[in-house]
Amino acid sequence: EAGVTQSPTHLIKTRGQQATLRCSPISGHTSVYWYQQALGLGLQFLLWYDEGEERNRGNFPPRFSGRQFPNYSSELNVNALELEDSALYLCASSLVPTGANQPQHFGDGTRLSIL
Amino acid sequence: GDSVTQMEGPVTLSEEAFLTINCTYTATGYPSLFWYVQYPGEGLQLLLKATKADDKGSNKGFEATYRKETTSFHLEKGSVQVSDSAVYFCALMRFSSASKIIFGSGTRLSIRP
């Protein structure tokens, strides 16, 4: 069974540009989550999508947005990039959008570097 | 709000040493608790989990017991190997928080041969 796949592996942008990160969940998983792993800040929750809708978002500005497609894959878009957006962006998926017994499975991440 | 606190790293041990990585949490209700591991160059993998008080999660020789009285979920392994070198994240999730996982800051573990 293929795991969560993310693309690209690395992405280099300059300040003010826009970045698009992609995620394909495990087959059968309907929920997709995005996290930011910035140096010194640990892992922070960004967004949660389920059945094509945004269900929850973390404490990030509106220039972080995304969407989920009918095949449950997802995009994360970051507009007006700033230097502090440099981080590893992790995508995770789970079978159903519940908490306790449905762990989230993570991809290897996209390393976004802002020059 | 909910939070997870884990011991700061890096932790460096010799092969076959005993490992403990401390983790405590703050949350209302009864969260589920997790340990995730991130090997060099890879994404996060679920290592083990516990969903209620006194549950013990175990995997690959690692164990952690959900202690509600001390709000702790310490990770232990009796004999570590070089291949255990990674960053370990303690995390919690409550259903009422709509599937959002709260992570600790991570502990980097290095094992010397």
Alpha carbon distance B88, B8 (integer Å): 11
pLDDT at A21: 98
The rounded distance, in Å, linking the Cα atoms of B92 and B113 is 32
Closest chain B C-alpha to A79 CA, distance in angstroms: 23
Nearest CA in chain B to A43: B103
Does B43 score more than 90 pLDDT? no
Q: Over pLDDT 90: what percentage of chain A?
A: 64
Give B72-98 pLDDT, tens digit per residue: 999 999 999 999 999 999 999 876 555
CB contact under 8 A, A108 and B51: no
Q: What kind and span of H or E run contains B107?
A: strand B107-112
Mean pLDDT over each residue of chain A, to the nearest integer: 90
Summarize pLDDT for A29-84 with one digit per residue, the tens.
988 999 998 876 778 889 989 889 998 888 899 999 999 999 999 999 999 999 99
pLDDT score at B38: 87
Give residue B64's pLDDT band: very low, low, confident or very high (50, 70, 90).
Answer: very high
